[in-house]
Structure 1
Amino acid sequence: MKSMIISGMLALLLGSAVQAQTIPVYLDNTKPVEERIEDALNRMTLEEKVAMTHAQSKFCSPGVARLGIPEFWMTDGPHGIRPEVLWDEWEQAGWSNDSCVAFPALTCLAATWNPEMSMLYGKSIGEEARYRNKSVLLGPGVNIYRTPLNGRNFEYMGEDPYLAGQMVVPYIQGVQQNGVAACVKHYALNNQEVNRHTTNVIVDDRALYEIYLPAFKAAVRQGKAWAIMGSYNLYKGQHGCHNQYLLNDILKGEWGFDGVVVSDWGGTHDTEEAIHNGLDMEFGSWTNGLSNGASNAYDNYYLAHPYLTLIKEGKVGTKELDDKVRRILRLAYRTTMDRERPWGALCSEAHFAAARHIGEEGIVLLQNNNNVLPIDLDKVKKIAVIGENAVKMMTVGGGSSSLKVKHEFSPLDGIRTRFGNRAEVVYARGYVGDPTGEYNGVKSGQDLKDDRSPEELIAEAVEVAKEADYVIFVGGLNKSAHQDCEDADRKELGLPYGQDEVIKALAQANKNLVVVNISGNAVSMPWIKDVPAVLQAWYLGSEAGSAIAAILAGDVNPSGKLPFTFPAALEDVGAHKLGDYPGVLRADGSNIVDEKYNEGIFVGYRWADKQKTKPLFPFGHGLSYTTFKYGKAVADKKVMGADETLTITVPVTNTGSREGSEVVQLYISDLKSSLPRPVKELKGFSKVRLAPGETKEITFTVNEDALKFFDDTRHQWVSEAGKFEAVIASSATDVKSRVPFELK
């Protein structure tokens, strides 16, 4: 008893002593974050500050161990959490617990036209990143779809800056609620992969501000992104990772960005530019940017010993360094040093369900002649599945977004699971594309080698097709080089591997043909008049097969809409009609390629409207298994003041026999302007779910910002008094109603 009393008294005394000690301000979570940042900064040595600005491994940068500030761990996204690599190598670390859920590619997310899906996506992938104890998720990407040849379009959110901006914000918010920073990329003008390190983009300020920057601005101003990744390309002769105009003037100046700018891996090229032109954290520069393999590689980074030496020699000051470190410390308090940071979850059933749901909502029904889809389960006895993409794993490949998944449900798996108890499901290869199964060190375990000739493969497919009630061809692109893949652009708009010939033969063999195109880019379809049904299925991740089968069977009514235009020909794209893609090599021996964006603001449907060209499938297009009727749109006023808003309402009715969702789109037309403007521009959308016979009224609010354009002579956004039209549409070419109004 006596010992217990003594122990209790000792505990009280020790507790009092601990409470009496002064907690350092930088560790005191009752203090404002900015005060804690300044205290931590003042405690750091010069060497510790410089060390925080550059990597110490492939995906890690140091904290300050002496002060208890943790390291920062980055992970590639934006579709799933990349498997671990060795400390100083790109080879896989060989862990058994670093598999993930692969979520659909961001083109699919954009195709949902549903910000709720974006929040679900961000929350889910953020939980996976947090469980793996990552500080920064390297994504999402919002570079604008300028050409369908860009190998990395599948990682982005389409051609329209408004749509991309509306979809990126919830993603960021979902990720960051897990105490993981979203690192929005690739800022900016990274619109092609060919010559990506040496392309100097020449673009006018109107196109820069109206087309290529708005989604990034939304990410910063509305999404409150904690990190931005610079781009490989140059703008005004400076690389995107240390660019005075993009980073200092616009991002940190005009937009007030208070987070960190992270270099793309190997995107840093000069110490003084990196010091002064806005870069905060340098990654992936090998050694000194010229060679690799040195044992002290990270000490030779541009923001490592070269930076420290310049300071110690008095050639540069520490003002820029302190700003960088403040931003990095702010990142720490938002992530690793946030005591309320949740724990996250990995490969949960909820995450697989989220991947499936996003995939189902993003699949676009491009064509459905004679109501071939959904498949009639009461009449089908035999289904023939043709095509390599029906079995090929698509979660590996593509570059930095290559993933090691816990499982990947292929289209053939999905079709067999859904239809197998009602019909016989047979498979034929049809064509051979890329039979390999290893990408970026991730091994799928697949060996799809097939030595038969194209003629033999087509003959087999036709025989199988003739005996089936339905034929489902699953093809498109893949994530190999020169398809949908980092560091290489496509060579043509057409489908690779002779698929057009396979599809033409199948169309003659069976009238109930469904083409499922898996890609992150538009493709040409010379057979479109002969194929009754076409699905755009994207790269759907772990639950690809489940999502595709649900649409084919009618378990889910398709509601996706295209986030970019499918041109009829490459010549119908402004970047190819007017531009000099992929650029012109300078004659000065510098290896720099100048790429002029001669089409200016006329990108995607803006170009098609201007030229009056008919696309294969327009921006915003997507069919349903039900039908919708739009009533007449009306506005609450005919004249709108500059400080007022205009409310537009339109009734939409489901006139079919199935529940379904429609994306109602609002475009604005400026009928007379002092500068050239697009025929119309997307300024609002709403996804509405309707039961058969149900009518809902959709409301849009238009303010003066929706009417503005960027005047590059005054370097400001302006609106002009005059006549406008609010255009209600189901796609960029399917206009349902027009409402004239005037801005005074």
Structure 2
Amino acid sequence: MMKHVTIAAFLLLGITGLKAQQKLPVYLDDSKPISERVEDALSKMTVEEKIAMCHAQSKFSSKGVPRLGIPEVWTTDGPHGIRPEVLWDEWSQAGWTNDSCTAFPALTCLAATWNRDISLLYGNSIGEEARYRNKTVLLGPGVNIYRSPLNGRNFEYMGEDPFLSGQMVVPYIKGVQQNGVATCVKHFALNNQETNRMDVNVVVDDRALYEIYLPAFKAAVQEGGTWSIMGAYNQYKGQHCCHNQYLLNDILRKEWGFQGVVVSDWGGVHDTKQSIFNGLDLEFGTGTDGLAKGKKNAYEYYYLASPYLDLIRSGEVSTKELDEKVRRILRLCFLTSMNKNRPFGSFATEEHAKAARDIAEEGIVLLKNERNVLPINLATAKKIVIVGENAVKMMTVGGGSSSLKVKKEVSPLDGLKNRIGSQAQIVYARGYVGDASGSYNGVVSGQNLADTRSPEVLLQEACDAAKDADIVIFFGGLNKSNHQDAEGSDRKGLELPYNQDKLISALAKVNKNLVVVNISGNAVAMPWVKEVPAIMQGWFLGSEAGNALADVLVGDANPSGKLPFTFPVKLEDNGAHALNAFPGGKEVTYKEGIFVGYRWHEKENKAPLFSFGHGLSYTTFTYGKVTADRSEMNAGDKITFTVSVKNTGKRDGAEVVQLYIRDVKSSVPRPVKELKGFQKLQLKAGEEKQASFTIDAAALSFFDAGKHEWVAEPGAFEAIIGASAADVKTKVPFTLK
């Protein structure tokens, strides 16, 4: 049985009455500053109670101090929905009947919205669900950089660009935490592959570390104010990241001033003394698979449990570090479960379903649309053929720790049927068989997708159905199986699995009005790209996937998503693979340095399949000439760039205006340009608006590893306005004096 109710819950019920009698101890008096409350509580705790707060007591919780009314800390996996309850000591389901959540789109989709307001909506909605389930910490969001399209966990992150990731993570954090639930931004840091993820040692130069892999985490700490951070599994500088001196002490705490809790990833702790001294606060997941230690209580044998207590009792270590850890955990408690003004939250509501649908619609990316095949014209399209397993397969189950038990999941096929109804005939053909299963940690999709027909028979059936269709929509891509978009394993190649490429080419030959909807959290190769008139990136869209896709396909919603990462033509066009630097063995060296994603493509002059920031609309936009409010700036100045954008089509739509900065001449190698601003403009048909971007010298800077500081060199720069990294509209020169 789950142990959700603690003595603390009952004690806290009486706080109001106690306060009226002025008998509250300081730590229970919420009129006092949190720093005073922390010190008061700490002074009343025994060493044993402090130790108990630093490690797990179950799969997903750690102890409080019942004697003092300090509650347990309850964590939950995210970041796309609230994970179903599991048994105290096992990954198996607890069997609850009221823990079916709303599944929100995967974070690649959120990043593709390029909309900070949508990110706030996402954070607030999932925060309400976490709060309703009485969780203290939501284990997310993830902001690891998209270094290779083969990383199995890319779908959980926010793309290849550190500026975009940083801008999108901040509102998410604020949305969650305004519900009295802490975010736990992960995985800090350099967790960019699943192969050998528990031990691989990452070798990366300091410039790449600071310019590419740390900025989103820094934004989460200094701008988002996240209350916790999760360490990564991998090693850096020969130390595991969950107890890493350089990352956790030197950078996170000393340089960035982080005051929150560092939580280990589950099973990511390997040493007691390193855990004591190298920045870890709260240890989870060490050797608790069925209490494998063979002890009466395996949790007492965690690295930060009895071994730590023994070192203190022997005098080998002091309680100084322990007190610092507990201070941070207490602060977390006062901000969350001991905050009497904490809202109650809500769970799996219609409001959350609408939020999930709105997020999905804004993140869907129209990659190609020749002959205006889309949106579907229901006045003329009387027979619509849907092909592909991903038109019917549930995508919320599987993929690792973000697997969910959902209240509902609308498939693409059902979404189209719901929207189109009797306006057109809809015919479905399987086309291919991928993964017929659908289960993870005891959650089952309930679908039986088994099909014993041969690939040849399935292909022929699909082509026969497609021949006389007015439009054919193929739903394919990846799924949440191992070696696709899934935690624990990386993809084996860039190509689509299950012989989908052959099927798409065959469909294109029999029907010229073919739409390919790629369901994935990663880029895929598209050898058929010139054969297909319309391509859409559909992501993993959560509970409202089918409804959101139908809205965009029929034109109820105008697509406005933009890619948060580059689609290469072939794997070797990606920097990590061009340099044979993925995934490595016991060690992986980031040979491409700062040249990740579009930075690599532009440095090497390799045209992408689809560029970073690319995304089409059902309307058209024209850009005016960008202007600057000054031609020269000093180091302490700011400069503002302004450009007008007009919707020149017949539909309302939204355009993401992107600002890139180019250093014309530098003493060190620099990217051709780097994203430093973006604004999403909502424009009615015929409407014109201005986008403005104000930057300072920080946007012109690079990290000087020798000096260990950011440097903006005087000289010539360009402000470049684009609809994508590859679609430059206008630019203006300026000078840093």
| TM-score normalised by length of structure 1 | 0.96
Following superposition, the deviation at residue 287 of structure 1 comes to 5.1
Alignment partner of 1:679: what SS?
coil
1:683 correspondence with 2:684: no
| Comparing 431-440 and 206-215, the one that deviates more | 431-440
Structure 1 contact 263–283 (Cα < 8 Å) conserved: yes
**Pairing 1:277-296 to 2, within 5 Å after superposition:** 277-286=278-287, 292=293, 294-296=295-297
Alignment partner of 2:677: what SS?
strand
* Percent of aligned pairs sharing the same letter: 69
| 1:94-117 deviation per Cα after TM superposition (whole angstroms, max 9, x unaligned) | 100000000000000000000000
**Pairing 1:8-19 to 2, within 5 Å after superposition:** none
Q: Quick one: distance in 2 between partners of 1:442 and 1:16? A: 43
Following superposition, the deviation at residue 692 of structure 1 comes to 1.3
Following superposition, the deviation at residue 675 of structure 1 comes to 1.0
**Pairing 1:153-552 to 2, within 5 Å after superposition:** 153-286=154-287, 292=293, 294-552=295-553
Q: Identify the residue that residue 93 of structure 2 maps to in structure 1.
A: 92
Q: Quick one: distance in 2 between partners of 1:713 and 1:480? A: 44
Q: Quick one: distance in 2 between partners of 1:439 and 1:456? A: 30
Q: Identify the residue that residue 578 of structure 2 maps to in structure 1.
A: 577
Amino acid at match of 1:736: K
Cα distance change, pair 20–433 in 1 and its aligned pair in 2 (3 A): closer
Q: Identify the residue that residue 598 of structure 1 maps to in structure 2.
A: 591
Following superposition, the deviation at residue 579 of structure 1 comes to 3.9
Structure 2 contact 18–24 (Cα < 8 Å) conserved: no
Following superposition, the deviation at residue 294 of structure 1 comes to 3.8
Q: Identify the residue that residue 657 of structure 1 maps to in structure 2.
A: 650
Structure 2 contact 92–442 (Cα < 8 Å) conserved: yes
Q: Quick one: distance in 2 between partners of 1:276 and 1:259? A: 16
| 1:208-239 deviation per Cα after TM superposition (whole angstroms, max 9, x unaligned) | 00000000000000000000000000000000
Q: Identify the residue that residue 734 of structure 1 maps to in structure 2.
A: 727
Q: Quick one: distance in 2 between partners of 1:39 and 1:89? A: 36
Q: Quick one: distance in 1 between partners of 2:225 and 2:509? A: 54
| 1:141-182 deviation per Cα after TM superposition (whole angstroms, max 9, x unaligned) | 000000000000000000000000000000000000000000
Q: Identify the residue that residue 3 of structure 2 maps to in structure 1.
A: none
Cα distance change, pair 368–88 in 1 and its aligned pair in 2 (3 A): same
| 1:276-314 deviation per Cα after TM superposition (whole angstroms, max 9, x unaligned) | 000000000015999545432101100000000010011
Structure 2 contact 561–615 (Cα < 8 Å) conserved: yes
Q: Quick one: distance in 2 between partners of 1:717 and 1:539? A: 37
Q: Identify the residue that residue 631 of structure 1 maps to in structure 2.
A: 624
Q: Identify the residue that residue 4 of structure 1 maps to in structure 2.
A: none
Amino acid at match of 2:426: V
Q: Quick one: distance in 2 between partners of 1:133 and 1:478? A: 31
Structure 2 contact 109–541 (Cα < 8 Å) conserved: yes
Amino acid at match of 2:695: V
Structure 1 contact 287–293 (Cα < 8 Å) conserved: no
Cα distance change, pair 545–288 in 1 and its aligned pair in 2 (3 A): closer
Unaligned runs of at least 5 residues, structure 1: 1-14, 585-592
Cα distance change, pair 669–21 in 1 and its aligned pair in 2 (3 A): closer
Following superposition, the deviation at residue 662 of structure 1 comes to 0.3
Amino acid at match of 1:678: P
Alignment partner of 1:351: what SS?
helix
Q: Identify the residue that residue 557 of structure 2 maps to in structure 1.
A: 556
1:646 correspondence with 2:642: no
Alignment partner of 1:256: what SS?
coil
Q: Quick one: distance in 1 between partners of 2:545 and 2:130? A: 21
Structure 2 contact 483–491 (Cα < 8 Å) conserved: yes
The number of equivalent residue pairs is 722
Runs of 4+ in 1 over 3 A off after TM superposition: 15-22, 287-295
Following superposition, the deviation at residue 29 of structure 1 comes to 1.1
Q: Quick one: distance in 2 between partners of 1:486 and 1:166? A: 25
Cα distance change, pair 741–311 in 1 and its aligned pair in 2 (3 A): same
Q: Quick one: distance in 1 between partners of 2:18 and 2:212? A: 61
Following superposition, the deviation at residue 19 of structure 1 comes to 5.5
1:124 correspondence with 2:117: no
Q: Quick one: distance in 2 between partners of 1:307 and 1:533? A: 60
Q: Quick one: distance in 2 between partners of 1:505 and 1:465? A: 10
Amino acid at match of 1:315: E
1:619 correspondence with 2:612: yes
Q: Quick one: distance in 2 between partners of 1:189 and 1:515? A: 33
Following superposition, the deviation at residue 20 of structure 1 comes to 5.6
Q: Quick one: distance in 2 between partners of 1:381 and 1:17? A: 70
Amino acid at match of 2:595: F
Amino acid at match of 1:645: K
Alignment partner of 1:665: what SS?
strand
Following superposition, the deviation at residue 556 of structure 1 comes to 0.3
Following superposition, the deviation at residue 464 of structure 1 comes to 0.6
Q: Quick one: distance in 2 between partners of 1:580 and 1:702? A: 34
Cα distance change, pair 288–358 in 1 and its aligned pair in 2 (3 A): closer
Cα distance change, pair 289–435 in 1 and its aligned pair in 2 (3 A): closer
Q: Quick one: distance in 2 between partners of 1:17 and 1:514? A: 66
Amino acid at match of 1:84: E
Following superposition, the deviation at residue 420 of structure 1 comes to 2.3
Alignment partner of 2:422: what SS?
coil
Structure 1 contact 287–294 (Cα < 8 Å) conserved: no
Q: Quick one: distance in 2 between partners of 1:65 and 1:229? A: 26
| TM-score normalised by length of structure 2 | 0.97
1:673 correspondence with 2:674: no
Following superposition, the deviation at residue 198 of structure 1 comes to 1.2
Alignment partner of 1:661: what SS?
strand
Following superposition, the deviation at residue 580 of structure 1 comes to 2.6
Structure 1 contact 466–509 (Cα < 8 Å) conserved: yes
Alignment partner of 2:362: what SS?
helix
1:32 correspondence with 2:33: yes
Cα distance change, pair 457–281 in 1 and its aligned pair in 2 (3 A): same
Structure 1 contact 232–241 (Cα < 8 Å) conserved: yes
Cα distance change, pair 423–523 in 1 and its aligned pair in 2 (3 A): same
Structure 1 contact 579–597 (Cα < 8 Å) conserved: no
Structure 2 contact 676–699 (Cα < 8 Å) conserved: yes
Following superposition, the deviation at residue 441 of structure 1 comes to 1.8
Q: Quick one: distance in 1 between partners of 2:22 and 2:338? A: 21
Q: Quick one: distance in 2 between partners of 1:550 and 1:729? A: 27
CA RMSD for the aligned pairs? 1.4
Following superposition, the deviation at residue 702 of structure 1 comes to 1.6
Larger radius of gyration: 1
Q: Quick one: distance in 2 between partners of 1:17 and 1:288? A: 42
Amino acid at match of 2:54: T
1:743 correspondence with 2:727: no
Q: Identify the residue that residue 6 of structure 1 maps to in structure 2.
A: none
Alignment partner of 1:480: what SS?
coil
Structure 2 contact 19–29 (Cα < 8 Å) conserved: no
Structure 2 contact 89–291 (Cα < 8 Å) conserved: no
Following superposition, the deviation at residue 452 of structure 1 comes to 0.5
| 1:377-411 deviation per Cα after TM superposition (whole angstroms, max 9, x unaligned) | 10011110000000000000000000000000000
